[in-house]
Amino acid sequence: MSPFILDIGEIFIEIAYNIAILMVLSASLINFIYKDTQKSLLMFLGSLCIVFSEVIQLAYLYISSKILLDILYTILLVAAFYFFYKQAILNEEESSVLSGNEVFK
């Protein structure tokens, strides 16, 4: 990272951003496990797509500037915002993702 990031402040901002993204992913996973609804599943899938798109973007920026990485980054980012949109317009009714026969004991 040394030829790309020159200032120590940029490194701290990058680390804080990565921690914030991982905290959002962790919170959405815990929310999905706790509530088990379609809204929480869509929120988890959206945050998962955001995390993977950020990992691919880092590979695109720092490792290799392949056009396939850029396309994958864009597809994952659009998918994340699609999941967030579907989650936002979904009603608040409690519909469990797992049916009664699939509940773990």
pTM score, whole prediction? 0.77
Q: For residue 82, is it within any domain?
A: yes
Q: For residue 100, is it within any domain?
A: no
Residue 53 is part of which domain span?
A: 8-90
First vs last C-alpha separation in the chain: 47
Q: For residue 102, is it within any domain?
A: no
Q: For residue 105, is it within any domain?
A: no
Q: For residue 66, is it within any domain?
A: yes
Q: What gap in Å lies between CA 67 and CA 94, rounded to an integer?
A: 42
> In this model, does residue 105 exceed pLDDT 50?
no
Q: What gap in Å lies between CA 50 and CA 55, rounded to an integer?
A: 9
* Structure tokens, 4: 């790309």
Q: What gap in Å lies between CA 53 and CA 59, rounded to an integer?
A: 10
Q: For residue 77, is it within any domain?
A: yes
Q: For residue 32, is it within any domain?
A: yes
45 touches 97 (CB < 8 A): no
Residue range 10-66, pLDDT digits in tens: 878 888 998 999 999 999 999 999 988 999 999 999 999 999 999 898 888 878 888
Residue range 80-89, pLDDT digits in tens: 999 999 999 9
Specify the number of domains making up the chain: 1
Q: For residue 57, is it within any domain?
A: yes
